[in-house]
Amino acid sequence: MPRVPIYMDNHATTRTDARVVEAMLPCFGENFGNANSVHVFGQRAAEAVDQARAQVAALIGAEPREIVFTSGATESNNLAIKGAAAMYRRQGNHIVTTRIEHRAVLDPCRRLERLGYHVTYVPVDRFGQVSVRDIAEAITPETILVSVMLANNEVGTLQPVADIGKICRARQVLLHTDATQAVGKLPVAVDALNVDLLSISAHKMYGPKGIGGLYVRRRVRLEPMFDGGGHERGMRSGTLAVPNIVGFGTACALCQREMVQDRDRCQELRDRLHDGLVNAIDDCTLNGHPNERLPGNLNMSFANVHGEALLMGLKNVAVSSGSACTSASVEPSYVLRAMGVSDELALASIRFGIGRFNTVEEIDFTIEECQRVVNRLRAISPSAQLVGVK
Ligand SMILES: Cc1ncc(COP(=O)(O)O)c(C=O)c1O
């Protein structure tokens, strides 16, 4: 039996890789300087930041000076959306996004609506994918920004960002992508994607929490969120979090080096989990795109079982029902709803997030645990008894 509890919620966060921690430690000790200071302590810290900036940039095919360090993807999304909206206000007041974005995109858009901007929320199909044509049709002469995530955090569906980018280029509209769940897991290149702004978070890719980045294409300008020392080309004031930045850079370098093996392993484990669940349990269905999906993502609905009850029953396996960021609410997931999944099945859904440190033994154990708990819950569920589900 594998060591329990098993962690299988890698979309919520990932364990910091030991190699990342090791790289960070000197920044709490001898290399404690402020990267803005001109003396030797400052210069040493600045060199470490430069190296990390180059590592982050290399992972996404950007230039180091196009990376703005932030506290994470929530801040990156806010800076991209509100910063572009404020900077380009005179050119228009319309933003296009999708119904399945993370709250860190939807909520800034809602705030902008309260400030007088107009936002179009484009729907998705049953796989959670937005159509390029729908995005194209939503763009008006007033549109200043399109924001479409690269991979969804609940169902893992990948979006046709590169094609959307071509349209945005032709219409001279900025394109932002929240790539939080995709960076480090799949090849991401800002030029191939035709994006102007791209959000990243270190803690989703085996780096530390509280650090992330925003890629800002040359010549794109953003109104900063706060005023101060003018760090990060004036876009993000505040003393640089050197230990976190070094950890972020190391995490990027590791992901770049190990991407193919990580991806293949996660996908294999994910497929093993899917096949095992489908064989062991009646009436469980996949949510999300069958192929165009993050390698470690598996979102399943178990008919006649409440996801929260399943979550409580699965004491030895840490998973999520719906998005971790909205798990305080018992509302069915708005992402699944937007895909046309019924409220009943949306409430019966579980998100498995497989990552670098999961093993075959853990997958097999998880299948057995799910089978045991689902059968027990169905046995006491009146609706299950009515339709005769085992
Ligand atoms: C798609 C997506 N965007 C943004 C965020 C927020 O990231 P952070 O925790 O770095 O603020 C998350 C985290 O759940 C996410 O999955």
104 Cα to the center of ligand 1, angstroms = 7
What's the CA gap between 289 and 339, in Å, rounded? 11
Which pLDDT belongs to residue 307?
A: 85
Lowest average pLDDT, out of 92-101, 157-166, 205-214, 319-328, goes to 319-328
- The pocket around ligand 1, CB under 6 angstroms, is made up of 72-74, 102, 104, 149, 153, 178, 180-181, 201, 212, 325
Q: Which atom of ligand 1 is nearest to the CA of 203?
A: 10
Q: Is pLDDT at 145 greater than 60 in this prediction? A: yes
Cβ(203)–Cβ(252) under 8 Å? Answer: no
Residue 148 pLDDT level (bands cut at 50, 70, 90): very high
Q: What would the mean pLDDT of 23-28 be, rounded to a whole number? A: 98
Pick the catalytic residue from 255, 284, 325, 370.
325
Q: Which atom of ligand 1 is nearest to the CA of 11?
A: 16
106 Cα to the center of ligand 1, angstroms = 12
Q: Is pLDDT at 325 greater than 80 in this prediction? A: no
> Ligand 1 test: best mutation among 159, 204, 244, most atoms within 8 Å of CB?
204
Which pLDDT belongs to residue 354?
A: 98
Which pLDDT belongs to residue 390?
A: 37
Maximum pairwise Cα distance, the chain: 75
Which pLDDT belongs to residue 303?
A: 95
pTM of the model: 0.96
Lowest average pLDDT, out of 49-53, 137-141, 341-345, goes to 341-345
Residue 323 pLDDT level (bands cut at 50, 70, 90): very low
Q: What would the mean pLDDT of 307-313 be, rounded to a whole number? A: 90
> Ligand 1 test: best mutation among 74, 78, 79, most atoms within 8 Å of CB?
74
59 Cα to the center of ligand 1, angstroms = 18
Helix (H) or strand (E) holding 300: strand 297-302
Atom 13, ligand 1: residue with shortest CA distance: 12
What domains can be seen in the chain, in order of their start residue?
Answer: 6-14+259-387 (3.90.1150.10), 18-255 (3.40.640.10)
What's the CA gap between 174 and 195, in Å, rounded? 8
Distant-in-sequence, close-in-space partners of 214: CB < 8 Å, separation ≥ 6: 67, 68, 70, 75, 76, 79, 80, 197, 198, 199, 200, 235, 236
Q: What would the mean pLDDT of 282-303 be, rounded to a whole number? A: 97
Residue 131, SS3 per DSSP: coil
Cβ(205)–Cβ(60) under 8 Å? Answer: no
The tokens of 350 are what? 């579980």
Question: Phi, psi (5° rounding) for residue 105?
Answer: -105, -45
Alpha carbon distance, N-terminus to C-terminus of the chain: 26
Residue 287, Cα to own-chain centre: how many angstroms? 17
Residue 383 pLDDT level (bands cut at 50, 70, 90): low
Atom 7, ligand 1: residue with shortest CA distance: 73
Q: Is pLDDT at 389 greater than 90 in this prediction? A: no
pLDDT digits (tens, 9 = 90+) for 347-377: 999 999 999 999 999 999 999 999 999 999 9
266 is catalytic: no
Angle of helix 242-280 versus helix 360-380 axis, rounded to 10:
60
Q: Is pLDDT at 115 greater than 60 in this prediction? A: yes
Whose tokens are 């980045």? That residue is 213
Q: Which atom of ligand 1 is nearest to the CA of 12?
A: 14
As a whole-number percent, the residues of the chain with pLDDT over 90 amount to 93
Whose tokens are 């994918």? That residue is 129
Residue 325, SS3 per DSSP: helix
What's the CA gap between 13 and 250, in Å, rounded? 17
Q: Mean pLDDT score of the chain, rounded to an integer?
A: 95
Q: Which of 136-140, 225-229, 320-324 has the highest mean pLDDT?
A: 136-140
pLDDT digits (tens, 9 = 90+) for 209-262: 999 999 999 999 999 999 999 999 999 999 999 999 999 999 999 999 999 999
167 Cα to the center of ligand 1, angstroms = 26
173 Cα to the center of ligand 1, angstroms = 24
